[in-house]
Amino acid sequence: MNSARDPRIAIVGAGLGGLACARVLQRHGRSATVFEREASADARPQGGTLDLHADTGQTALRAAGLLDPFHALARPEGEEWRVLDFTDAALLAHQGPSAGGGRPEIDRGQLRELLLDSLTEGTVRWDRAVSRVTPLADGTCRLLFADGAAEDFDLVVGADGAWSRVRPALSHAAPRYTGVTFVETGFDHCDTRHPDLARLVGNGSMLAKGAGRSLVAQRNSNGHIRAYIALRTPQDWHMAAGIDLGDQRAVRAHLLRMFDDWDESLRYILRDSDSGFINRPLFVLPAPHTWQHVAGVTLLGDAAHLMPPVGLGANLAMLDGSDLAHALVTEPSIDDAVRAYESIMLPRSIEAATSSAQGLDHLVPAVTS
Ligand SMILES: Cc1cc2nc3c(=O)[nH]c(=O)nc-3n(C[C@H](O)[C@H](O)[C@H](O)COP(=O)(O)OP(=O)(O)OC[C@H]3O[C@@H](n4cnc5c(N)ncnc54)[C@H](O)[C@@H]3O)c2cc1C
């Protein structure tokens, strides 16, 4: 990029997509500042395990120069998948790790730490929530922070996830409920404290599904199993059932009733989990989600293409970040770079959103009367 000075690039959000973008830029000698609303790197647990695909997440890590440290942390055996019959827990289908370890698993927290540690000190400004973005007439963009401060940049990258504050500068689209809610719970020291469940889950993931209800359990690092109780249900299911989500015993009892025709070894997930239940209604952006190019601002990851969580979102967010950074270091101007990036990211995300919607239908089958 030909510029008399280093362009001022702001990345809003220190998720996997924003961090991948910052890392690839820095690897090419460019600077960027990441503004993150959370107070610190460990302000909240980062969530479960992710399988990184060779053609997306791993491609981004290669561009970031982090593929080897990734492989040192990753769990290739975690690729294993089991599908069980919900009535008797019999094995219906089994897929072992692919030859060559195409999609190794890694805990999201480990991956985020790897990216954070790779950045120049001070790149991430913690506790800097962005409230709004205003494109300016000269092609630059103004960031307004929640504390009332404002700062102008040559490019603002919205990497701020599902409920992006940057997105309204480009599009009126808003996330809508998918009709599916994941209720998350977890098990610690599974091999010693929950050996039967550990055997059911194996080294990777286990799925059992019935009409409108599924159970997914995934082995994370350190003997932790994270489970999702997937429900095809109105978003206010707990209110309709008269349940206070803060009353964990009531949630547990209700879920056990919902799965009363399931095999007891699977109901164990509802009955004996160590952690409480976290309600996670799933939202998506309308697909296709596109926008007219606006100088000085773009989106990546969930901010651009929030889709059902069936294994693509984090991979695509990282690839977006890496592709955008690559365009910024190879194209002659910021505007050319953003146009080049959007011309590959938008069609790719439309395709992925369609396949993810089908994936969610497969994961949690509709109730047919
Ligand atoms: C239950 C579940 C399981 C999933 N499993 C998988 C999987 O197996 N594989 C996969 O590929 N994907 C998976 N996904 C999807 C994946 O989590 C997302 O697609 C991915 O995290 C998107 O990354 P991102 O960087 O775009 O956004 P995020 O990870 O959401 O990061 C956004 C960042 O922006 C910050 N932020 C938000 N608002 C502001 C603001 N106003 N100002 C400053 N900072 C802000 C947030 O604090 C956050 O740090 C799953 C999702 C869910 C819900």
Domain boundaries, the chain: 9-79+98-174+285-363, 178-283
Mutate to test the pocket of ligand 1, among 11, 16, 52, 151 (most ligand atoms within 8 A of CB): 16
Protein residue whose Cα sits closest to atom 27 of ligand 1: 161
Tokens describing residue 302: 């969930």
Nearest to 333 by CA among 167, 169, 155, 142: 155
Distance CA 18, CA 10 (A): 10
Tokens describing residue 359: 């994936």
List, for residues 40-88, the tens digit of each pLDDT value.
999 887 889 999 999 999 999 999 999 999 999 999 999 999 999 999 9
Q: Report the predicted TM-score, pTM, of the whole model to 2 decimal places.
A: 0.96
**Ligand 1 atom having least distance to the Cα of 320:** 26
Q: How far is the CA of 306 from the centre of ligand 1 (A)?
A: 9
3-state secondary structure 149-192: CEEEECEEEECCCCCCCCHHHCCCCCCEEEEEEEEEEEECCHHH
What pLDDT score does 97 carry? 79
Protein residue whose Cα sits closest to atom 37 of ligand 1: 160
Q: How far is the CA of 159 from the centre of ligand 1 (A)?
A: 9
Angle of helix 334-363 relative to helix 313-330, nearest 10 degrees, comes to 170
3-state DSSP assignment of residue 31: coil
What pLDDT score does 46 carry? 80
Give kind and range of the element (H or E) at residue 33: strand 33-35
Q: How far is the CA of 317 from the centre of ligand 1 (A)?
A: 8
**Ligand 1 atom having least distance to the Cα of 312:** 11
Q: How far is the CA of 85 from the centre of ligand 1 (A)?
A: 31
Q: Are 141 and 48 in contact (CB under 8 A)?
A: no
**Ligand 1 atom having least distance to the Cα of 315:** 11
Q: How far is the CA of 93 from the centre of ligand 1 (A)?
A: 30
The DSSP string of 199-268 is HHHTTSEEEEEETTEEEEEEE-STT-EEEEEEEE--TTHHHHTT--TT-HHHHHHHHHHHTTTS-HHHHH
**Ligand 1 atom having least distance to the Cα of 35:** 43
Protein fold of 178-283: D-Amino Acid Oxidase; Chain A, domain 2 (3.30.9)
Q: How far is the CA of 276 from the centre of ligand 1 (A)?
A: 22
- DSSP at 88: T
Residues near ligand 1 with C-beta < 6 Å?
12-18, 35-38, 50-51, 129-130, 159-161, 165, 182, 280, 301-303, 309, 311-315, 317
3-state DSSP assignment of residue 344: helix
Protein fold of 9-79+98-174+285-363: FAD/NAD(P)-binding domain (3.50.50)
What pLDDT score does 1 carry? 54
Alpha helices in 16-135 (DSSP H): 16-27, 57-63, 67-73, 108-118
Task: Determine how β-strand 213-219 pairs with β-strand 225-232.
Answer: antiparallel
Mutate to test the pocket of ligand 1, among 163, 302, 322 (most ligand atoms within 8 A of CB): 302
Half-sphere exposure of 81 (CA within 13 A, CB side): 13
**Ligand 1 atom having least distance to the Cα of 313:** 19
Mean pLDDT over each residue of the chain, to the nearest integer: 95
Q: How far is the CA of 15 from the centre of ligand 1 (A)?
A: 6
Tokens describing residue 185: 């719970």
Q: How far is the CA of 302 from the centre of ligand 1 (A)?
A: 6
Q: How far is the CA of 301 from the centre of ligand 1 (A)?
A: 8
Q: In what order do the strands lie in the sheet with 124-125?
A: 124-125, 33-35, 9-12, 155-158, 297-299
178-283 and 9-79+98-174+285-363 share a CATH fold: no
Q: Are 124 and 38 in contact (CB under 8 A)?
A: no
Distance CA 355, CA 282 (A): 16
Mutate to test the pocket of ligand 1, among 52, 160, 282, 312 (most ligand atoms within 8 A of CB): 160
What pLDDT score does 16 carry? 98
Q: Are 8 and 153 in contact (CB under 8 A)?
A: yes
Distance CA 318, CA 231 (A): 28
Q: How far is the CA of 282 from the centre of ligand 1 (A)?
A: 12
β-bridge mates for residue 225, sequence order: 187, 219
Distance CA 316, CA 308 (A): 12
Q: How far are the Cα atoms of 2, 87, 280 from residue 183, in angstroms, in the given order?
A: 50, 21, 6
Low-confidence ranges of the chain (pLDDT < 50): 2
List, for residues 312-350, the tens digit of each pLDDT value.
999 999 999 999 999 999 999 999 999 999 999 999 999
